[in-house]
A and B are shown apart, each in its own frame.
Chain A
Amino acid sequence: VLESVGTVVRLGLAAVWLVAGAGKVADPGTFAVSVKAYQVFPDEMASLVAAIVPLLEMALGLLLLFGVGTRLVGVLSGLLLVVYIAGIVQAWARGLSIDCGCFSRGGQVAPGQTQYPLDLLRDTGFLVLAAWLTIRPRTRVSVDGWLAGRQQAALAAADDRGSSEAESAVGSNEQ
């Protein structure tokens, strides 16, 4: 049952990354504006970050979709989300009025229009998904699962061979 839940979690987080990344790739200018609005990077850096992040998100999404290295990708997703949360918190703390730009749009908004608590709640929710995959990376229909299955089969075969080989090796040593 936990594996099924894990599968839903994995595909859910994959969808989040793919949608978020694709939206930004389709509208690069807007995302560059959002990154700048956080006022964390100098302008040149902000453009570069704005070009890299969407592709990174899509890469994480693809890896999760196929279930490749789920635990590692879970950890990396979590790290990226922590960075996002830190970015939103610092914007809030500094009194910037920006839209988080999490799913494109973004940039500066009217002071009354920020929704930091909502943004943070959502990102924390995603973080929970990432944590789940880090703790329980085993899921159905994944490359990881397929590899593990193959490995088990290979090991089962090797077990017989292995023990007889080992036995004969030990045996020959004794002579």
Chain B
Amino acid sequence: MSGTHNGRERRQAAGARAVAAARGRRRDSTWMIVAAVVVVVLGVAVIGGVLLQRYRSNQAAETVLPAMTVPGSGQYPVELDKADATVLVGKPTARNTVDLYEDFLCPICGQFEAANFTNIEKQLQAGTIKVRYHLLNLLDNSSNPPGYSTMAANTALAVATASPGKFMDFHYSLYRKQPEEGGAGWTQQQLTSLANRLGVSGPAFDSVVNNKTYNSQINTNLRRAEADPALQQQTSGGSGFGTPTVLANGKTVNWQDPSWLDTLASQ
């Protein structure tokens, strides 16, 4: 009697153990699969990130900057101020002077150029304005490696040194094809190649590029601009100096007003 009873209990206990074990195994294996899926998805994300990064930097390095010429840019003088590292463009008889503070890496400067280039060119040819280009390096730390802004500005000044008549072409081409902020920026080879294809080369150009002739003056110009009370503007983030900054006859103008240049030219 008791033997049968014990046997039944034993049998039940063993059955429960077997079921629990099966349940445990099943739960473990499902959990392992889910964990594996999580790991695989995250792994794909990481590898994708690495590949994306490699693809982006390769693409940037292989970009050939299109050489674009500005029609009619030969109709007014272009003069490099070597001491000041600024470029004055326009007919000497023009009544109004526009001072442009720009950085070749700055996307908003690119927008400014895209929106205003045609009209600036028209006014320069008409002789209503002169434009003084201040090529700054505000965003020097926003490229990787840092320093694209300075390198681009120095190369533009090298163009103005060797062939002043090509400065506007170079300036225009570089704004039409800006590198990405935070990216590698164009290399010196890419910049030099652009200048060469615009017809600028020779020892005068090479010397400025290789000696980085204007780097320190570009730094000085930025510090001066940042300290100049006349150049401070209210932005969303308080008061300060930013690029682009546009002065008309020494006073800041709101260049986001589309009529700023026509208003000035008609004075």
**Which partner residue on chain A sits nearest B14 by CB separation?**
A170
Residues of A within 8 A of B26 (CB): 151, 154-155
Q: How large is the interface on B (under 10, 10 to 19, 20 to 34, 35 or more residues)?
A: 35 or more
Within 3-61 of A, Cβ neighbours of B (below 8 Å) are at 28-33, 36, 43-44, 46-48, 50-56, 58-60
Taking a contact as CB atoms under 8 Å apart, the answer to whether A51 and B53 are in contact is yes
The yes or no answer to A108 lying at the interface (CB within 8 A) is: yes
Beta-carbon contact of B34 and A147 below 8 Å: yes
Rounded to whole angstroms, the CA-CA distance of A59 and B49 in the bound complex is 11
Is B30's CB within 8 Å of the partner chain A?
yes
Give complex CA distance A21, B23 in Å. Answer: 39
Beyond A29-B181, A162-B22, is A68–B52 a contact (Cβ under 8 Å)? no
Contact yes or no, B238 A110, CB < 8 A: yes
Name A166's contact: one of B7, B18, B57, B180 (CB within 8 Å): B18
Q: Tell me, in angstroms, the Cα distance from A76 to B183 when the chains sit together.
A: 29
Asked whether any CB of chain B lies closer than 8 Å to the CB of A107, the reply is yes
Asked if residues A28 and B56 are in contact (CB atoms below 8 Å), the reply is: yes
A121 part of interface (Cβ distance < 8 Å) = no
A112 in contact (CB, < 8 A): yes
**CB of B108 within 8 A of chain A?**
no
What B residues does A86 contact at CB under 8 A? none
Enumerate chain B residues within 8 angstroms of A166, measured Cβ to Cβ: 11, 14-19
Nearest A-chain residue to B11, judged by Cβ: A170
CB nearest neighbor in A for B238: A110
Inter-chain CA distance A113–B16, complex, in Å, is 65
- B41, B46, B182, B240: residue with the most chain A Cβ atoms closer than 10 Å: B182
Which residue on chain B has the smallest CB distance to residue A37?
B141
A51 touches B52 (CB 8 A): yes
Residue of A nearest to B55 (CB): A51
CB B53 to nearest CB in A, in angstroms, measures: 4
**In the complex where A60-B42, A147-B30, A163-B19 touch, is A55 in contact with B49 (Cβ < 8 A)?**
yes
Judge whether A85 is part of the interface by a CB distance below 8 angstroms: no
Q: Contact check: which of B35, B142, B240 meets A33 at CB < 8 Å?
A: B142
Cβ distance A88 to chain B, nearest Cβ, rounded Å: 19
Smallest CB separation, A129 vs chain B (Å)? 18
Known contacts A159-B19, A166-B15: does B50 contact A51 (CB below 8 Å)? yes
Please give, as numbers and ranges, the residues of chain B lying within 8 Å of A59 by CB-CB distance: 41-42, 44-45
A-B contact count (CB 8 A): 131
Contact partner of A170 (CB less than 8 A), chosen from B15, B41, B50, B142, is B15
Instruction: Type the 1/0 row for B19-31, where 1 means its CB is closer than 8 Å to any CB of A.
Output: 1001100110010
One of A28, A36, A60 near B180 (C-beta < 8 A)? A28
Give A171's nearest chain B residue, CB to CB.
B11
Which residue in A33, A62, A69, A109 is a CB contact (below 8 Å) of B237?
Answer: A109
B42→A56 contact, CB < 8 A? yes
> Residue B74 at the A interface, CB < 8 A?
no
Query: A109-B237, A167-B15 in contact; A33/B182 too (CB < 8 A)?
Result: yes
**Any chain B CB within 8 A of the CB of A63?**
yes
Question: How far is the CB of A116 from the nearest CB of chain B, in Å?
Answer: 16
Given contacts A51-B50, A151-B26, 15 further A-B contacts (CB under 8 A): A28-B52, A29-B180, A33-B182, A50-B182, A68-B37, A69-B37, A69-B38, A72-B34, A109-B237, A147-B34, A151-B27, A166-B14, A166-B15, A167-B11, A167-B12
Sort A-B residue pairs by CB-CB distance and give the 7 closest, nearest first: A29-B182, A52-B49, A166-B15, A51-B53, A59-B45, A32-B182, A55-B45
17 pairs, A vs B, C-beta closer than 8 Å: A29-B180, A33-B181, A47-B57, A48-B50, A50-B53, A51-B49, A51-B52, A51-B53, A52-B53, A53-B49, A72-B34, A110-B240, A155-B26, A162-B15, A166-B16, A166-B19, A170-B10
